[in-house]
């Protein structure tokens, strides 16, 4: 999850920065976050959406560094991981879905995309979506008027 977030933030960062790709790839998360927050060319609504992404990054940093768990015995820790695996996967799936919609929202705000700008294939892809909730969220984001 952190990798996806970091790569997405590097992409957004690259839109407002003239550095070449190799330099951006070497730029740390902390530096990118500071530059995005201090950049006056980035719309405030985009920054608000990016703030949501920062919270996911922090959440998964805590998981990676095991900050929320204190265990004396490794076997107990491994047993808990195995028992709670489904909870973790469900939470990760929900977080990925939310991250996806936040990233759609950010790109929509940056590039000012609306339904009328989509080509026929893109419109058909949305029409064929099996999840009505997801389809409606995307149509709403694209300012679709029935």
How much is the pLDDT for 91?
Answer: 85
Residues 119, 93, single domain; the answer is no
Domain of 128? Answer: 114-146
Task: Please tell me whether residues 47 and 59 are part of one structural domain.
Answer: yes
Query: What is this structure's pTM?
Result: 0.79
For 46-91, how does the pLDDT look when each residue is reduced to its tens digit (9 = 90+)?
Answer: 999 999 999 999 998 876 656 555 556 667 766 766 776 566 778 8
For 13-57, give the DSSP string.
HHHT----HHHHHHS-HHHHHHHHHH-TTS-HHHHHHHHHHHHHH
88 and 20 in one domain?
A: yes
- Reported as a single tens digit per residue, the pLDDT across 83-127 is 765 667 788 889 999 999 999 999 999 999 999 999 999 999 999
CA distances from 127 to 87, 92, 115, 123, 135 (A): 32, 27, 12, 6, 8
Give the number of domains in the chain.
Answer: 2
């Amino acid at each position: 999850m952190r990798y996806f977030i970091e790569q997405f933030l590097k992409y957004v960062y690259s839109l407002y920065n003239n550095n070449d790709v190799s330099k951006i790839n070497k730029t740390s998360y902390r530096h990118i976050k500071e530059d995005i927050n201090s950049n006056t060319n980035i719309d405030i609504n985009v920054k608000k959406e990016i703030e949501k992404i920062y919270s996911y990054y922090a959440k998964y940093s805590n998981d990676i560094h095991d900050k929320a768990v204190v265990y004396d015995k490794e076997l107990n820790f491994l047993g808990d991981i195995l028992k709670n695996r489904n909870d973790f996967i469900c939470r990760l799936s929900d977080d990925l879905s939310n991250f996806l919609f936040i990233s759609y929202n950010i790109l929509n705000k940056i590039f000012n995309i609306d339904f009328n700008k989509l080509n026929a294939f893109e419109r058909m892809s949305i029409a064929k979506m099996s999840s009505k909730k997801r389809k409606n969220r995307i149509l709403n984001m694209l300012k679709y008027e029935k």
